[in-house]
Chains A and B, each alone.
Chain A
Amino acid sequence: MFAFSETSEKEIEKQLVKYPPDRKKSAILALLRIAQQQNGYVSPEAMEEIGRRLDLSPAYVEGVCSFYTMYYTRPVGQYVILFCINVSCHLLNCDNLLEYTAKKLNIEVGGTTEDKKFTLLREECLAECSRAPVMRINNDYHVNLTPQKIDQILDSLK
């Protein structure tokens, strides 16, 4: 079973008023995001519930959900590290930093630490290219990365 929390309901209301009443399908990305914010990922049950809210079939919701990379359909760590590997970061050795981060967390890229604290993922361009190398942890950007800076950031996350 999936149910939106009170906080989520308030957020949903704020999103729905943005669109014409007969165009509430526009809010699907927002509802998927809210479901994920609430539970950490978007479960099949959450997709069904979103479908009910927006008069859409579960298959339709899943089709939209699977198109976008920011929705997780399986549980992830408390902190999701998105490590940019695109060309501007690549020119500044992001590959080495990514490897460094994976080693530090003792996981493969794409994996989650045993304590479910961190998930480490490769990410395409984050639009902070002039402050490369860049990563994004949950909603925060971290720029001009060095091994020392990565240590500092990860150690500060409780």
Chain B
Amino acid sequence: MTQLLFKHINVEGMASIDVYEKHGGYETLKKALKQKPEEILETVKASGLRGRGGAGFPTGLKWSFLAKNVYPRYLVCNADESEPGTCKDRELLLKNPHLLIEGMIICAYACEIETGYNYMRGEFYDLCEIFDKAVEEAYDRGYLGKNILKSKFNLDLHSHLGAGAYICGEESALLNSLEGMRGEPRLKPPFPAVEGLYGKPTVVNNVETLCAVVPVVEGGAKAYAALGTEKSKGTKLVSVSGHVRNPGNFEVVLGTPTSEIIEMAGGMREGRKLKAFIPGGSSVPMLPADKVDTPYDYESLQAAGSMLGSGALIVMDDSANVVKETLRIASFYMHESCGKCTPCREGTRWLHQILGEIESGRGKDENIGLLQDICDNMSFKCFCPLGDAAIAPVLSGIANFREDYEELLSQAKAGVAAE
């Protein structure tokens, strides 16, 4: 099994620089500093590495969009991991913070950046302490600061804690939050690569993406691109949660059948059958059991009607009721909508209200059409994708698990008749 990011994840003491170095840590940085920044950029481009936070945008391309000859530039690591079902970045930060730091340094070198921030969600206070300590160690060894390893390259890294807001995982909202504002998204364009933090060109990448830069540069673009499918290269961390025997984070080569990943997590619980799975976090459409052999990669999951998203595989067995779970997710989006755009602010509340009526046995047949209509009015009508995320479980639930809706609706009818 190919393990690039999780190769040393369970080595005791890996969070300390001594143990990290003992396992080859910071050797890739030394190698990178001997190359020109453009060469690193080309390597990352050629590797096919794509953003692991959710959007799946090619990482090298994102870096190459930085406005030319505008400085200072900033690097921002998005460690606002809050997509329901996702817990991979937390494990990386908890157990192997130096891998992220090494990846951030290599990225900053390739993009000619001298200041970086690691924006961690406020709940990751414990991880922030670990990160700060690791940064201090990296300064002491000359991997950060002025003239890093005598390369004339300078970089300062800082931690920054959020304070509880899902929306700050969206990169433009994150930048507003980092600037000391409410975490509301910005209208794009301009994209952060042109006008990002403090109006300067900024690279925003997810924790896993920046960590993956290390094995990409270490093994070379060819070796990385040899893994995976034609368009989905390399490995992906998948957080498996829900109704499986041994939930956990697993590193898989992209293109691995989803059913195999569920098996890695111990398979279904005793006497239970798979009913539904959400392949990429609560923001992507849920799929029925007959799609479980879909290869776990960006294109195949899209063809199957969903998305890879952040790599959070939420598994539901036949004890789950799709309406109840959808209501739970709808309640989340209502809570997290920042309120800036009307379709999302009002739509998330209406979805929650109607789903609540159906779930509590007070639904009417026309509610299903109403839900679909509201979803249609939220789709692609907001500054950021939160509204689109909120409708995914609703529409896919109605399309794939209509019987769960109809059962509750017929109970409601029977209830009315009995009165």
Q: Which residues of A contact B (CB under 8 A)?
A: 18, 20, 23, 25-30, 32-33, 54, 63-64, 67-71, 82, 85-88, 90-92, 124-132, 136, 139-141
In B223-244, the 8 Å CB interface with A consists of 239-243
Q: Which residues of B contact A (CB under 8 A)?
A: 81-87, 89-90, 117, 121-126, 158-166, 177-183, 198, 239-243, 247-249, 278, 282, 312, 314, 316, 320, 325, 328-329, 332, 335-336, 338
Shortest beta-carbon distance from B244 to chain A in Å: 9
Whose C-beta in chain A lies nearest to the C-beta of B198? A23
Task: Kindly list chain B residues whose C-beta atoms are within 8 Å of the C-beta of A26.
Answer: 160, 178-180
Complex contact B85–A64 (CB within 8 A)? no
Q: Which of B82, B117, B123, B247 contacts A136 (CB 8 A)?
A: B123
Candidate in A27, A71, A124 with the most chain B CB atoms within 10 angstroms = A124
Shortest beta-carbon distance from A18 to chain B in Å: 4
Complex contact B166–A127 (CB within 8 A)? no
Whose C-beta in chain A lies nearest to the C-beta of B319? A91
Task: Please report the C-alpha to C-alpha distance between residue A154 and residue B49 in the assembled complex, in whole angstroms.
Answer: 45
Task: Please report the C-alpha to C-alpha distance between residue A18 and residue B135 in the assembled complex, in whole angstroms.
Answer: 13
Complex contact A85–B328 (CB within 8 A)? yes
Task: Please report the C-alpha to C-alpha distance between residue A139 and residue B129 in the assembled complex, in whole angstroms.
Answer: 11
Complex contact A87–B325 (CB within 8 A)? yes
Task: Please report the C-alpha to C-alpha distance between residue A124 and residue B336 in the assembled complex, in whole angstroms.
Answer: 9
Q: Which of B86, B165, B314 contacts A68 (CB 8 A)?
A: B165
A sample of 27 cross-chain residue pairs with beta-carbon separation below 8 angstroms, ordered by A number, consists of: A23-B180, A23-B198, A26-B178, A29-B160, A30-B160, A30-B161, A33-B122, A64-B182, A68-B122, A70-B122, A70-B123, A70-B163, A71-B163, A87-B85, A87-B278, A87-B328, A88-B85, A88-B314, A91-B241, A92-B242, A92-B243, A124-B335, A127-B86, A129-B87, A129-B241, A129-B312, A130-B249
Shortest beta-carbon distance from B72 to chain A in Å: 9
Task: Please report the C-alpha to C-alpha distance between residue A68 and residue B163 in the assembled complex, in whole angstroms.
Answer: 6
Task: Kindly list chain B residues whose C-beta atoms are within 8 Å of the C-beta of A27.
Answer: 180
Task: Please report the C-alpha to C-alpha distance between residue A89 and residue B10 in the assembled complex, in whole angstroms.
Answer: 25
Complex contact B84–A87 (CB within 8 A)? yes
Task: Kindly list chain A residues whose C-beta atoms are within 8 Å of the C-beta of B180.
Answer: 23, 25-29, 54, 64
